[in-house]
Amino acid sequence: MPHSASDASPAGGTARAPRTLRHLIAGTWQPGDGAEIVDTNPARPGETVAVGQLAREHDLDRAVTAAREAFPKWAATPHPVRGRILHRTADVLDAHAEQWGEELAWEEGKTRAEGIAEVRRAADIFRYYAGEALRPVGEVFASSRAGEQIQVIRRPVGVVAVVTPFNFPIAIPAWKIAPALGYGNVVVWKPASAVPLLALRLAEALVEAGLPEGVLSLLISGGALGGRLAEHPGVDAVTFTGSTAIGRGLIASCGRLARPIQTEMGGKNAAVVLASADQDLAAAEVVAGAFRSTGQKCTATSRLVVEDSVADEFLDLLTKRVADLRVGDPLEERTEMGPVVSLQARDEIQQAVDAGAARPGVELLTGGRPYDDDRATGAFLRPTVVELAGDDELWREELFGPVLAVRRARDARHAFDLVNDSEFGLSAAVFTDDFRAVSQAVDEVDVGILHINSETAGAEPHVPFGGAKHSGYGPKEQGRAALEFFTRTKTVYLRASGGDR
């Protein structure tokens, strides 16, 4: 049984038959004819989760053609009717939350409890956008001319390319696909090839809910096909979540094509613990923010700033909590942190930690060493905390894993300066009971999402989500903000003919 970061090990799991992967193209489930894809369990990489063959260029052309053919009828479908399909999708997701959440943990590595919660979160997102069908989707303005009314109405943009990452394999697609479909668009979706099974499950839920043929196509393939999808002449808009490097490439491509694009990219999110903070609360929230989902969240806490007067006491409390985390098989009930998504990711993160630990001014507080028990064969990393004497790559580069870099600050002003000293600006957290510090943080911390006395991770579906600086580009996601990307306005000057002029 997994017990702690130092002595846990993955338990042997019950044998499961590999699932068969399929693509959804033009309303038909079909196998691919590209290279073989083998989806493996990161806790036990020799265990196969799903198998299939990748989609190819001709599949992309067929999917986009089907989407363009389906668009006029779907756009003309009354919004409340579209909303009922989204609501039924939410019901299907809820009904399968236990099974699909366990498959998510098996495939991606987050704990079973987190996997189930993610499927239910996807259901909540679909239910929210089902409710949007009964909200206003336009405005009426007064005209300066007598007898005239000005209407601003919203229309869907058309064919939307959706490209999603591995770390939230059903929730992130949900918060793109649900508003896209709800507002009358059609979707061609390319998920991360590391997590194809949960993509298949979401597409199955939509089909079961009665989504018409061609309105959604699912193409399981490598990253190159995602780039070609974004540039396809039949696509009208692109929404992407993933790495900053790939996002910038897509932004450049869409710029050349004058094509709208929405991106959510990297983060190097900081938590600030000031002298006035409740230390127990702050320690619990920082651990949750940094190590839930094995740190594989764009909103994960990867930097920590502690006011110097309480730093020794707080870091002692924090490192004890981190060292006690139970690391092991994500399907075991007592596990608190599973593996990262792949052996390659494990090795790259470990190499970055090793290189950092060898540099002057970097002190390893806990973790950092590879496992030497049976976890060594899986994609497991020790939850790691390092303290930095000054600037360092570990402070600036997004590792996307369970590594927390710490620096000390003289006071609140210095702390907020350290938070802002980053090219990223997605999320931040400030722990304090000082109202003046809260007000200062709200005014000065340059991020898209700010938490006061709670972890950096987490987002509600009814409010905007997205970052500042290089963490995002284009309109925000979720909530009513989604309307700005997935629709465009038409201004109508409405005046009766005849009569006095």
- What residues are labeled active site? 264, 298
Angle between helices 435-444 and 412-420 (to 10 degrees): 30
- How many whole angstroms separate alpha carbon 253 and alpha carbon 471? 18
Q: Name the strands in the sheet holding 19-20, side by side, starting at the edge strand that comes first in the sequence.
A: 19-20, 44-53, 36-41
> H helices within 109-151, ranges in order?
112-131
Which residues on adjacent β-strands are paired with residue 427?
Answer: 449
Instruction: Look at residue 360 and give its three-state secondary structure.
Output: coil
- How many whole angstroms separate alpha carbon 421 and alpha carbon 444? 12
Percent helix, strand and coil across the chain, each to the nearest 5: 40, 25, 35
Question: Rounded to the nearest 5 degrees, what angle is found at the Cα of 12, between the Cα atoms of 7 and 14?
Answer: 150
- How many whole angstroms separate alpha carbon 5 and alpha carbon 408? 25
Six-digit token string for 469: 């600086």
Six-digit token string for 303: 């930097």
Six-digit token string for 32: 């691919």
Going by DSSP bridges, is the β-strand pair 186-190/468-469 parallel, antiparallel, or unpaired? unpaired
Closest CA to 199 of 224, 227, 221: 221
- How many whole angstroms separate alpha carbon 100 and alpha carbon 88? 17
Instruction: Look at residue 488 and give its three-state secondary structure.
Output: strand
Which residues on adjacent β-strands are paired with residue 473?
Answer: 263
